[in-house]
Amino acid sequence: MSRVLAGPWAGQLLGDYGADVIKIERPGQGDDTRQWGPPWLGGESAYYLSANRNKRSVTVDIAKNSGQELVRDLVRKADVLLENFKTGTLERYNLDPQELMAANPGLIVCSISGYGRSGSRAGEPAYDAMIQASGGLMSITGPAEDEAGGPQKVGVAIADIMAGMYATTAILAALHARTATGKGQHIDVPLYDSQVAWLANQNMNYLVGGEVPRRMGTGHPNLVPYQAFPTSDGNLMLAVGNDQQFARCMEVLGAPDLAMDVLYTTNAARIENRQQLVETMRARLTTNTTEFWLSAFAECGVPAGPINHIGEVLSDGHAIERQLVRSLSSSAGDPIPSVANPVAFEGTPVRYELAPPLLGEHTDEVLREWLGYSAEMIAELRNQAAI
């Protein structure tokens, strides 16, 4: 019972791993992202298609009593209920998570919300961009503070996606715990809390060092040189992670003496003298092409890479070797492209069986399979506009 991205992303991952995922949607409208186009394919937006494979769509109007009862029937058969309504919404529709868990003691309810199920902000709605801003990410994303420009959000809804990832791992952990206890549990995954959590080293830089992290463009607060550099015909990304790599990097640039200079011999020294070193490296890197430098760095084991656009990424030879783009068939037999799940299991491979469903495509099928509803019962629910 989720829409947009955080919940659907978690549901898609679980579907990839083999779960039978039933997507409950509002009749006539469905997931908000179905309308988030262009571009479109087969009448569905690319946004919707990105997060809803390996699911079956069932339309239910939870504002109607018979729709609520239908959800309760499904929940009695389910292992997991995943929802991302604003906190308190399910209770208003007589679908209180605690009551649902009482009816199905093994049920795991995972609630994704903006600010969690407790605290003064529990009832507030939230969208990814709001969380990126208020949760600290935008304060460290964008051009360096002494350059033109200001805070920027990441180019995908990363707060939503990471909340979905946390939700997925939490659900799997709860399923594992249930094998020992026989009991389900309620999981609370706030976008805000998860956004703060994955600030990782930036959080600890503040907690340990006491200084507020700042925007550094492509630079790294704890490593130098670790950023993008211009070349004579473009740009590349250098990711020097230790002193040995730095020494090899200086050899490639024709400046081995810099690796012996006390100003740069250690990473701590390089951070202290960041600006001077970066300016020296920039002057040298602009003397030749991206291809030249990438080849030279690769030969010496210095981590560096091109800055590819998405078209280059998805058509690259490595992407083809790894089958990073898959094709699924819609119910009409039309091909639907999909980006592969990155996990490769040896014994239980990720499945690519169901294209993102049309709105309500599987309503009758699921009510027959899961609940044993007769054609007459389904017809009556449809007459009541409950499905």
Residues tagged active-site? 160
Which residue, chain included where needed, has tokens 């571009």?
39
| Cα–Cα dist 248/380, whole Å | 74
Of 374, 326, 376, 377, the residue nearest 353 (C-alpha): 326
Q: Which amino acid is at 189?
A: V
Of 162, 228, 132, 308, the residue nearest 141 (C-alpha): 132
What φ, ψ does residue 143 adopt, rounded to 5°?
A: -60, 150
Burial (CB count <10 Å: 0-12, 13-18, 19+), residue 200: exposed
Alpha helices (H) along the chain: 6-16, 46-49, 65-77, 89-92, 97-103, 128-134, 158-181, 191-197, 200-209, 243-252, 267-272, 274-285, 290-300, 310-315, 317-321, 363-371, 375-383
Of 54, 13, 40, 21, the residue nearest 355 (C-alpha): 54
| Cα–Cα dist 82/187, whole Å | 9
User: How is residue 195 written in tokens?
Assistant: 């956004």
Helix pair 65-77, 363-371: axis angle to 10 deg: 50
Give the pairing of strands 186-190 and 108-113.
parallel
